Structure 1
Amino acid sequence: MSIPRRTLLIGALIATQASAASTVDQDDLRQAFIEHYATAVAEPNAVSSAIHQTLSTYPLYPYLEYQVLRSSLSSQSEARVNDFLERNADTPLYGRLLFAWARQTGAKGEWDSFDRAWQKIQRPSTDLKCLNGRHQLEQGNLSVAWEQARTLWTVGHSQPDSCDPLFNTWLESDNFSTSDALKRYQAALIKGREGLATYIKRFIRDQATLAEAERALALYQTPRLLLDEPARLKDDMPGAQALLEMSVRRLARQDLTAAIQLWVRDRDRLGLSTENQAELTRYLGVWYSKRFPNAQGRALLAQLDPQYQSADLVGWRARLALSDRNWSEARQLIERLPAEEQQSDRWRYWTAISQQGQGDSARETLQALAAERSFYGFMAAQILGVDYALNNRPASLDMTRLETLAATPAFARMRELLALERYSDARSEWNLAIADMSETDIHHAAHLVSSWGWHHQGIRGAISSEQWNDMQLRFPNPYPELYSRHAGTRDIDPIWALAVTRQESAFWMGAKSRVGARGLMQLMPATARATARRNGISLSTLDDLGKPDLNIQLGTAYLGEMFQQFNGNQAHATAAYNAGPHRVSRWLDARGELPLDIWIETIPFDETRSYVQNVLSFKVIYARMANTPVALFSDREFATLALNQQN
């Protein structure tokens, strides 16, 4: 891939900046920071004034100073804390120290200091709200304290221990009532916290309220009771609407059809507004649709949303019609979608396919769609045999603006944090730095950090500045040789593997998902180990998955296995990479006869459906950027699209 001129210009800028200061000095300061930061964590008083002076010019000096204060906060004065806060108000460290100081002074009952800190906090945490309630109580502001206590206590989950002194006092006061206890009891059951509900029951002291609690517990434990005995809930009973929703949701786990029948029967009977019905109607309907119900089940979906008010549910009903190749019904359902939805690329494509299926010409619709850079636009382009529309708009960068940004303390700190692999801190700096920036400055900042190798943040910056057509920024390729070498070894398209990476991690350094997937190609530990074992690849520790070379080697090996397992079908293999081969095999067993585009459209996992569409689209984008031949689908895959099977 050729290197755009603007990238070379940014590189020249950085090289110029680096030559302005001694690299050796910067490396020495960085190493000194690492050593003394560790000291600040363990033994803050050992960080001498000489060390402070030596590192005072280093971009990350505020982090050392913060850690010294944080590690010895109990012995610090308010004046010294405020001095740091005033000097570092434009850094993420301001909020961290302010919150820590407020927690400490509140816990120690130093209410004057706490109140001064509280006044500076815009979005207090739950524990700070509890401390403020205690402060109000100490000040004799009972009405404020009781309101805070009630708000914090009447929830369906446990609260921090710092709330206990406020709660204990309120629970003994005349302000607390049995109805408060019932509200929390019901809230706990609705959240599935039966143990918490059992604890709360001790605060219910009259028989009438206790009976309401028992009613809620019975519906929680046996939700089908309400289906058989509607009188268990009436619209004048406390929390009846919330208890209906709880019962329906719990029954849905046991019998989804019965849950829908219960919801259809009782949502109006118990007075839920259309707005309050919408979310649960959508949830039940989409879940049921993904089971691909028979004709009787389709009729139940119609009862669930007779006025076509849930766009998501109408969309899934249209998908079911597509899976039946019932073009007339699919077209009618698409026309029931909100106007904005109908004009989306997705539904314009399926309108065209339905038109063609009914014998009408779809060429005009497909021609308009082929001008779009999207999965559906790319399908339309391949159907028509025209070039894929990249709609690239190269950035026009102002070098003076770039120089100004690079010289700011925030971006100097970001660059050093990246060098130290402190990615979370770097992202915090970015988020604060761009908070008040113009879109033009954010766009320039995104190019700047991308030129440092922080491509993930460059992509996020493109989104923040709405630079959808800046393809160079949105679709970097930092490791072309690794993809070429490792994908070539597995006999798969390296651009496909690159597209998988762009979707998986967006090249985030140190990426780790909430479920444990690691590295550029987001490999789960068990998958990585098994793939390494099958392919004779050395994997010493899971930390090695953070190394680009090894991660791409293992990721392409696994992707190659999926490609072989699913007979060279990239759509199926891509889905398997995301959702697991066992699920894809199950979906193929159930609906593998569907045209490929309908099969993709009806993947029951929303994440996997979007994943497949994105990866295949990204493959086209990367290939077009590199001026290499590309097809969204292979000839064999293309032949199985719905439009081609109609001919």
Structure 2
Amino acid sequence: MKLLTPILTLLSALTMTGLTSFAAKAQNKGDDLMLEMHQASRKNDKTRLAALLPQVRGHVLEPLAAYWELRARLDTAPDSEIRSFFSAYAGSYYEDRLRNDWLLQLGKRRDWATFTAEYPRYRMRDDREVRCYALATEAMNSKANVAEEAKRLWYALREADDGCTYVADHLHSGKQINGLDLWRKARIAMDANRPRPAKDAVDIEAPRLSEQVTLIHADPAKYLDKRIIAITRNRKELAVLALIRLAASNPDEAAERLDKHWDLMLSAEERHWTWGVIGKQAAQKLQGNAAAYFAKVQKDSDLNDDLLGWKVRAALRQGQWRQVLSATQAMSPESQKDPTWVYWRARALLASPASDAAQKQEAHNLLRNIASVRGFYEQLALEDLGQPITVPERPAPPSPQEKASALNNPGLQRALYAISIGLRPEGNREWNYSTNLHTPGGMNDRDLLAAADLACQRQVWDRCINTSDRTKDLIDFEQRFPMPLREIVVRRAEQIKLDPAYVYGLIRQESRFITDARSHVGASGLMQVMPATAKWTAKKIGLTNFTPDQINDREVNVAIGTGYLKLVLDDFEGSMPMAAAAYNAGPGRPRNWRNGPVLEAAIWAENIPFHETRDYVKKVLSNTTNYAAILTRQPQSLKARLGQVGPRNSQTVEVNPDLP
């Protein structure tokens, strides 16, 4: 279609006629207008968007511009105009993006006839609220039992939303979900410190009591101290919410109140869930009594996967392998496939004192099912089976035809162009759409390798890595673990006696090699260095005349990032897991997290209280091991890099107590 003609093709044609300079100037003006539209879109400036749109007609990113303009007034635009947009940009990401937005609006309006007609044309299918609206229409139109999927979606949402709350209310009216289902949503929300969705759930089951949720969130102890004459089921559930809220700040006090007063009043299921939350909160504080709290749960199937995961973590810290086994067996079928719980279940089977030949065989089968170089637990499984971590054989490179297909993909072209002019989030979303859902079933492995190759050639490293990471059967380490700026990184790492594989493993996780990356907290550059940390480190490593504006300079960023990482690593006595945790969460937290029993570092890492840091440490160490295999071309061991973690030796002192 003419409007989607790739800009590179346009420039190529103009070069042949000697008009390249003119075309470049025109395109630069168009880019400036797109950036101005972006700012107008962020401000929801409808007037400015409408004025600018005619000026970017014919620009390669016109579909994005048209989307911004129409989205800003979607609530008032006639259906005919919306359908004209769908027709003009048929097959594009922005057609589907606008349909997503429209479906949300139709759901909020309760325009079920139009919603039902449009939903089958929606390709992304990745918006939970839209899916909840769709489930409501399915239940209305066919009386289908959609309760399990609706609960799964609703429970996963942390914030209040209309779609999943609506379908829950509808299914409750139709007796497809019951009061316990609603109270469980309220419990999950209260545990996540989200009072609004907790109140919304209670409002469906007990509207006259829903205001109590806000009061409980503000002062749970006050509610628990109230003298309640009639202990109804709903009142007991409110007490459970209060105990859950209290456990967040003081799990021991919540346990004492439950033990002394509420234990006999609650049902077995209510009691088990509450003890599970108390155990979780104690485990997140790394308290030694967390496993004891979980031991009061007499029926693991009364807990959800989140609570069961924390039961496993608490049991691992105490070496309670039987509890690890029972908790992993009680998880949902989906969680039982997660490599994390597959691995620990296998370890529990092998560690059982009564482990027989059948259990050992089951354990080895579990390990074989996940063993690969793909991730942290997959690599540990390889090593537990006696296999080293090596670079897999590289698949055949993309053929000229496969490369041409990726190059000529309009969505990929627009995505790369958007990224090149500073619209990275917009470009990333269209890239992900084009590689995931542009064709039915998404791209196959060969298509993904070709798309990743295109991103690599353009040095858009995050798209290169993320796309290559998604291949199922073909693994190309050259794509998955690229090494931009190799001369700078390796030279600097070797100068300060730092493993370059560790540096690359960290950069891959921190920034995906985006040199101008900036986090929401202000960290900058390849190694995502905070301004205060950069200033402190510059002094420590003797980098004179450093100014904050230098932090995005590649050489300076690598010098400061590696310098800080080396200082952190030395402070933590060479422990890569603890140093990675300190790099992500600051050194103070892992100094506290290391206190307690001496643990194998995999158990220590799994017990890190913060999800982001827990995931970060595992990925950095997994990346490091694979980079080492590439750099050395020798078999590698993740376990050797992990080692053990425990309290600091009393005879050693902190190298840098003022480490930021």
Q: Work out whether the TM-score is over 0.5.
A: yes
RMSD: 5.7
Quote the offset at 1:465 in angstroms: 4.4
1:286 aligned to which of 280, 287, 292: 280
Letter in 1 for 2:499: D
Distance across 1 between alignment mates of 2:63 and 2:212: 57
Question: Quick check: 1:612 aligned with 2:617?
Answer: yes
How far apart, in 1, do the equivalents of 2:577 and 2:315 lie? 22
| 1:428 shift after superposition | 2.4
Mapped pair 1:531 → 2:526: no
Q: Distance in 2 between matches of 1:74 and 1:381?
A: 54
- Distance verdict in 2 for CA 1:46–1:382, change over 3 Å: closer
- Counterpart for residue 430 of structure 1: 431
Is it true that 1:301 corresponds to 2:294 in the alignment? yes
Matches within 5 A, 1:204-603: 219-220=216-217, 222-224=219-221, 227=224, 231=228, 234-237=231-234, 240=235, 243-260=238-255, 269=265, 274=269, 282-294=276-288, 298-307=291-300, 310=303, 319-320=313-314, 323-324=317-318, 326=319, 329-331=320-322, 333-334=324-325, 337-338=328-329, 340=336, 344-349=342-347, 352=350, 372-373=372-373, 374-375=375-376, 387-392=388-393, 394=395, 397-433=398-434, 434-437=436-439, 438-440=442-444, 441-466=447-472, 469-508=475-514, 510-535=516-541, 536=543, 540-541=547-548, 545-588=551-594, 590-591=595-596, 593-603=598-608
Distance 1:19 1:632, change over 3 A: farther
> Structure 1's 537 and 70: CA in aligned 2 closer, same or farther, altered over 3 A?
farther
Moved more, 517-526 or 276-285: 276-285
Contact kept? 1:405, 1:411, Cα under 8 Å: yes
Contact preservation (8 Å) 2:263, 2:271: yes
Q: Closer, same or farther in 2 for the Cα pair 1:225/1:501, shift >3 Å?
A: same
Residue 514 of structure 1 and its aligned partner are, at CA, apart by 3.9
CA distance, structure 2, for counterparts of residue 74 and residue 337 of structure 1 = 47
Structure 2 Cα separation of the partners of residues 104 and 354 of structure 1: 55
Verify the 8 A CA contact 2:321 2:351 in the aligned structure 1: no
Q: Structure 1 residue 475: deviation in Å? A: 1.8
CA distance in 2, matches of 1:39, 1:637: 49
Taking the aligned partners of 2:76 and 2:321, their CA distance within structure 1 comes to 70
TM-score, normalising length from structure 1? Answer: 0.65
Determine if contact 2:565/2:579 at 8 Å carries over to the other structure.
yes
* Comparing 381-390 and 330-339, the one that deviates more: 381-390
Q: Distance in 2 between matches of 1:363 and 1:559?
A: 42
- Secondary structure of the corresponding residue to residue 439 of structure 1: coil
Cα distance, 1:498 vs structure 2: 0.4
- Between the aligned partners of 1:612 and 1:554, the Cα distance in structure 2 is 20
Q: CA deviation at 1:247?
A: 0.7
SS of aligned partner of 1:626: helix
Deviation at 1:497, TM superposition (A): 0.6
**Shift of residue 586, structure 1, vs aligned partner:** 2.0
Q: Distance in 2 between matches of 1:35 and 1:582?
A: 45
Q: C-alpha displacement at 1:480, in angstroms? A: 1.4
Structure 2 gaps, min length 5: 1-6, 41-46, 131-156, 163-182, 200-205, 331-335, 647-660
Q: Match of 1:337, SS?
A: helix
CA shift for structure 1 position 470? 3.3
Answer whether contact 2:461 2:514 (CA < 8 A) is retained.
yes
Number of residue pairs aligned between Structure 1 and Structure 2: 549
1:354, 1:640 → 2: CA distance? 23
Q: Deviation at 1:255? A: 2.8
| CA distance, structure 2, for counterparts of residue 25 and residue 386 of structure 1 | 60
Please give the alpha-carbon distance, in whole angstroms, between the structure 1 residues aligned to 2:417 and 2:372: 40
> In the aligned structure 1, how far is the partner of 2:29 from the partner of 2:298?
65
Output the CA distance in 2 between the equivalents of 1:81 and 1:424: 24
Q: For the pair shown, which has the larger CA radius of gyration, 1 or 2?
A: 1
Moved more, 522-531 or 73-82: 73-82
Return closer, same or farther for 1:94/1:556 CA change in 2, 3 Å cut-off. same
Once the two structures are TM-superposed, the CA of residue 581 in structure 1 deviates from its matched residue by 1.0
* Contact in 2 for aligned 1:563/1:573 (Cα 8 Å): yes
Partner deviation per Cα, 1:434-457 (whole Å, 9 max, x = no partner): 324233134432332233222222
Using the TM superposition, give the Cα deviation of residue 66 of structure 1 relative to its aligned residue in structure 2, in angstroms: 5.8
Amino acid at match of 2:564: Y
How far residue 322 of structure 1 moved from its aligned partner, in angstroms, is 5.0
Amino acid at match of 1:259: A
The TM-score, its normalising length taken from structure 2, stands at 0.64
Q: Which amino acid aligns with 2:459?
A: G
The alpha carbon displacement at 1:482 in A equals: 2.5
The corresponding residue for 1:644 is none
Partner residue of 2:658? none
TM-fit CA distance, 1:87: 1.2
User: 8 Å contact 1:600–1:609 — kept in the other structure?
Assistant: yes
2-structure distance, mates of 1:364, 1:124:
36
Give the Cα–Cα distance (whole angstroms) in 1 for the partners of residues 197 and 385 of structure 2: 61
Q: Indicate if the aligned counterparts of 2:312 and 2:327 stay in contact, CA closer than 8 A.
A: no
Q: Which residue of 1 aligns with 2:627?
A: 622
**Partners in 1 of 2:398 and 2:271 — Cα distance?**
49
Deviation of residue 472 (structure 1)?
Answer: 2.8
Amino acid at match of 1:477: M
In the alignment, the residues of structure 2 paired with residue 197 and residue 380 of structure 1 have an alpha-carbon distance, to the nearest angstrom, of: 40
- What is the 5 A alignment of 1:96-107? none
Q: C-alpha displacement at 1:462, in angstroms?
A: 3.5
Q: Deviations over 1:249-305 (max 9, x none)?
A: 222144312324556775895568x5x88876544322223445456x643321135
Alignment-mate amino acid for residue 279 of structure 2: G
Work out the CA distance in 2 between the residues paired with 1:463 and 1:257: 43
Change in 2 beyond 3 A, CA 1:75/1:316: closer
Deviation per CA, 1:91-144: give whole Å up to 9, x if none.
444467789999999xxx9xx9xx99998687999999xxxxxxxxxxxxxxxx
Task: Classify 1:92/1:29 alpha carbon distance in 2 versus 1 (closer, same or farther; 3 Å).
Answer: farther
Instruction: Note the alpha carbon deviations across 1:32-71, whole angstroms, 9 max, x for none.
Output: 212444676696787697x66xx72x42244456667789
Q: Distance in 2 between matches of 1:87 and 1:26?
A: 25
Name the SS for the 1:413 alignment partner: helix
